Amino acid sequence: MPQIDLEPGSYHERKPPGWRWRLPWSHPEDTKLPLVMLCVMLAGLAYIFFNRDALSSGILFGGTAVAAAIAGGMLLLAFRD
């Protein structure tokens, strides 16, 4: 893709070095949110594990797959540095 001339103050000029995708309202030092979500997903997996007799097989399979996928993603985000 060719580099085009940008207006002053355009996106590429404002992007600081070492920039990563963040929520627009997040603080630059805010890196604890993925770790909190990881703990929430692990608690959800523990709930599924301890109540597996009362849950249907679809809930067990689907809930475990979704919670494990989200927990894995949050693990990668929390410890990416």
Q: What is the pLDDT of residues 22-50, one digit of tens each?
A: 655 555 556 678 888 899 999 999 998 89
Are 65 and 21 a contacting pair, CB within 8 Å? Answer: no
Residue 48, CA atoms < 13 Å, CB-side half-sphere: 19
pTM to 2 decimal places: 0.58
Q: Categorize the per-residue pLDDT at 76 as very low, low, confident or very high, splitting at 50, 70 and 90.
A: confident
For residue 74, count other CB atoms closer than 10 A to its CB.
20
Are 42 and 71 a contacting pair, CB within 8 Å? Answer: yes
Residue 64 has pLDDT above 60, yes or no: yes
DSSP calls for 3-43? PPP--TT-HHHH--TT-----TT--TT---HHHHHHHHHHH
Are 67 and 41 a contacting pair, CB within 8 Å? Answer: yes
